[in-house]
Amino acid sequence: MISVNNITKRFPSATALDNVNLEINKKEFFGLLGPNGAGKSTLMNLLIGYLDSDSGEILIDGEKMTTGSPGLKKKIGLVPQSLALYEDISAKENLEIFGSFYDISKKDLRYVIAEKLKMVGLFERKGDNVKTFSGGMKRRLNLAASLLHDPSIILCDEPTVGIDPQSRNAIFDYLQALNEEGKTIIYTTHYMEEAERLCSRIAIIDSGRIISNGSIDELLRGLEYKQSISITKSPVTEKYIDSFKPFGTIIENPDKYELQPDDGLILSDFYKRVEETGINYTFINIRKPSLEALFLSLTGRSLRD
């Protein structure tokens, strides 16, 4: 379990993190969403012990993470935003170098390197210089280099920047498989669709503050909903349709009702009413709002501004 408690980090030019609090559970796929400059990378740098905070603390399995926590760092694997690889040597040599920083015997390291190269589909290219790799291949090697010491927590700092959809999907698959194996994954991105696809829970960060935190459904339910909701006609829905009138205007069609929401409809209130009536969710058709819309409603600006 990772606890981020009242973390503040200031740089001469700006406050990067301002009293940030987070709890990330074991085996969770946790997303950290925010625009560029929101403080995501600073938080990652604190989580890996690259920086020390000005105040507050980060606890990983109850132990405090600082720049001087070599033992704790063994639990973490970082997939950096940049391609942190030596381009003029081979993929295998890169992994040998990065693996040598951990207590892994040479024999085990050889085995692990082969295993990880196979995992990311680069085993056949292990002897080739990294500079001959495509962007996607480099990204995959970047991921493999972070997994050599079998970390229980994997921090991915925008690991799919600048690659083709095929390689992006491959990386998503690797990460999901790792999460299913029991790894805790913290994933920063400013792509909402990535967070929606991968993360069971997310925190939205902006200007150094966590402005929203929870599962995607929880967050979206708190969003003011403005699109029409379709309710399929059935004996149960006909019986309780009037109980939805407080949420807006109901228009009856031959096979369904259309609820045109009033201003200020909160989805969580609507779902609560659905559960009270006992209507099955299969009769309710809501066009799910996007995280982009959530971010817009929370900050008043687009995520990619």
Partner 1 sequence: MKKILSLIRKDYILFWHDKVAVGLTFIVPAALILLFGSIFGGSGNDASGIRLAFLNQSDTKIAKKIESTLDTTKTFQIIKTFTDDEGKEVPFDTTSIKDYIIKGSASSALIIPKDAYSDTSFGLKLKFYYNPKNELEMQIVQGLLQQTVMTQIPEIFNQSMMRRSEEYLGESKGLSFNRKLASVISEYFGVDTSKILQQGFYSTYNDSTEDDSSSDKGASNFFNNIVKLDKEQLVGKEVNNPGATRSVGGWAMMFLLFSITASATSLFDERNSGVTLRILSSPVSRVDILWSKYLYNISLGIIQLTVLFFAGYLFFDIDIFSNFGNLFLVIFCSSAAATAFGMVLAAFSKTTAQANGLGTFLILTMSAIGGAWFPTFFLPPFIQILSKFTIVYWSIEGFLQVLWNGAGLLELLPTLGVLLGIGFLVNTVSFWRFKKGDIF
Contacts of 13 (CB under 8 A, 6+ apart): none
Return the DSSP state at 200: S
Question: From CA 60, how far away is CA 77, in angstroms rounded?
Answer: 13
**Residue 194 tokens, joined:** 């990535």
> Measured from the CB of residue 135, what is the shortest distance to partner 1 in angstroms?
14
**Site mask, partner 1, residues 12-51, x = CB under 8 A?**
---------------------------------x--xxx-
> Measured from the CB of residue 146, what is the shortest distance to partner 1 in angstroms?
8
* Nearest CA among 292, 29, 36, 75 for reference residue 158: 36
Give how many residues touch partner 1 by CB under 8 A: 27
> Measured from the CB of residue 84, what is the shortest distance to partner 1 in angstroms?
4
For the segment 271-290, give every residue that binds partner 1 (CB under 8 A): none
Q: Which of 39, 80, 136, 159 binds partner 1 (CB under 8 A)?
A: 80
Q: State which residue, 36 or 169, has the beta carbon closest to partner 1.
A: 36
3-class SS shares of the chain: helix, strand, coil, % to 5: 40, 25, 35
Q: How far apart are the first and last CA of the chain?
A: 33
Q: State which residue, 30 or 98, has the beta carbon closest to partner 1.
A: 98
Q: Which of 9, 40, 73, 201 binds partner 1 (CB under 8 A)?
A: 73
Q: How much is the CA Rg of the chain, to the nearest whole Å?
A: 23
Residue count (the chain): 305
Residue with tokens 């085995």: 111
Q: Which of 5, 8, 59, 102 binds partner 1 (CB under 8 A)?
A: 102
**Burial classification of residue 262, based on how many CB atoms lie within 10 Å of its CB (0-12 exposed, 13-18 middle, 19 or more buried):** exposed
For the segment 115-174, give every residue that binds partner 1 (CB under 8 A): 145-146, 149, 155
Q: Which of 98, 133, 257, 270 binds partner 1 (CB under 8 A)?
A: 98
Residues that bind partner 1 (CB under 8 A): 45, 48-50, 67-68, 70-71, 73-74, 76-78, 80-86, 98, 101-102, 145-146, 149, 155
